[in-house]
Amino acid sequence: DIVTIAEGKPVCVPCSAQAGFKLTANQLDATITPRAKWLILNSPSNPSGAAYSATDYQPLIEVLLRHPHVRLLVDDIYEHIVYDDFRFVTPVALEPRLKGRTLTVNGVSKAYAMTGWRIGYAGGSRELIKAMAVVQSQSTSCPSSVSQAAAVEALSGPQHFLKERIEGFRRRRDLVVAGLNAIDGIDCRVPEGAFYTFAGCAGLVGKTTPAGKPIETDTDFCDYLLQEAHVAVVPGAAFGLSPFFRISYATSETELMEAILRIAAACSRLGSDSDRC
């Protein structure tokens, strides 16, 4: 929407579950035109939790080097929320030649649980940052001094608590992934980072609710969970990819366990048209 407001034309490239919800070099190369301005990447990502390793980034970097007119915006806000043996990396660290055309965006909202402080930051060329400051000063004024001081403390203060916090997220991730995969008709990959699962519900499309309403889309399925199980999830259609649904596990294990039990019970009540004849 922001690209559209700026009178640009966003081109969304579907990243399939088979590709780990990641953009491939062939997709990128086929999408770039002489009018292309920016490639925007989020890693680890919302909604899928997929994250790009150095091996994943390298083919994309090679494509960008062949197209010097395209700038790169990387959203690293989930930088610290990664699991298992995954190692976070940002593209400019891999290829310094991209530095002059890369905008790296980050913030304190996710890793430091400071959503209400509304502080983000970016690193890029002096020219670009100066232009951004002009726009921001006329649209949102400036971040408060209290928020700025809190962000400095978060970034420069002790970091030992992050390990414990990420371990808590990992336990919740594993709980949700295992619970969803135990439900017939749902398939959920293990995300590398962030705090979301993006599960497929293709196996439930075509079924009918106890009231006889067909589940034709992931949006129908999410509506059914909301109305019948009182569980709020987000359909993949909202992110341009169906049939999937997103769950945020940035909440307590107790609430997540209850949600999984409700989803499982609601799914068990779905039937086929033949079942109702």
Tens of pLDDT along 45-61? 999 999 999 999 999 99
- In this structure, the answer to whether residues 150 and 165 fall within a common structural domain is no
Q: Number of structural domains, the chain? A: 2
| Cis amide leading into 47 (omega within 30) | yes
Using the predicted structure, report yes or no on whether residue 15 has a pLDDT greater than 80. yes
| pLDDT of amino acid 240 | 92
CATH number at residue 66: 3.40.640.10
Q: How far apart are CA 259 and CA 238, in angstroms?
A: 21
- In this structure, the answer to whether residues 8 and 143 fall within a common structural domain is yes
Using the predicted structure, report yes or no on whether residue 192 has a pLDDT greater than 60. yes
Question: Which of these ranges, 27-31, 117-121, 165-169, 226-230, has the smallest mean pLDDT?
Answer: 117-121
- In this structure, the answer to whether residues 117 and 193 fall within a common structural domain is no
- In this structure, the answer to whether residues 196 and 246 fall within a common structural domain is yes
CATH number at residue 192: 3.90.1150.10
Using the predicted structure, report yes or no on whether residue 234 has a pLDDT greater than 90. yes
- In this structure, the answer to whether residues 151 and 173 fall within a common structural domain is no
- In this structure, the answer to whether residues 109 and 8 fall within a common structural domain is yes
> DSSP letters along 207-265, please?
-B-TTS-B--SHHHHHHHIIIII----EEGGGGT-TTEEEEE--S-HHHHHHHHHHHHH
pLDDT band at 274 (very low <50, low <70, confident <90, very high): low
| E strand segments, the chain | 38-42, 71-75, 102-107, 120-123, 196-200, 234-235, 244-248
- In this structure, the answer to whether residues 107 and 203 fall within a common structural domain is no
Using the predicted structure, report yes or no on whether residue 13 has a pLDDT greater than 50. yes
Instruction: Provide the token pair at 52.
Output: 């790009």
- In this structure, the answer to whether residues 195 and 259 fall within a common structural domain is yes
- In this structure, the answer to whether residues 96 and 10 fall within a common structural domain is yes
> Which of 129, 156, 183 is the C-terminal boundary of a domain?
156
- In this structure, the answer to whether residues 124 and 247 fall within a common structural domain is no
The length of the chain in residues reads 277
| pLDDT of amino acid 273 | 59
Q: What is the SS3 assignment for 184?
A: coil
Q: Which domain holds residue 148?
A: 2-156
**Percent of the chain's residues with pLDDT above 90:** 92
Non-local CB neighbours of 30 within 8 Å, separated by 6+ positions = none
DSSP class of residue 77?
T
- Phi–psi pair at 123, nearest 5 degrees: -120, 125
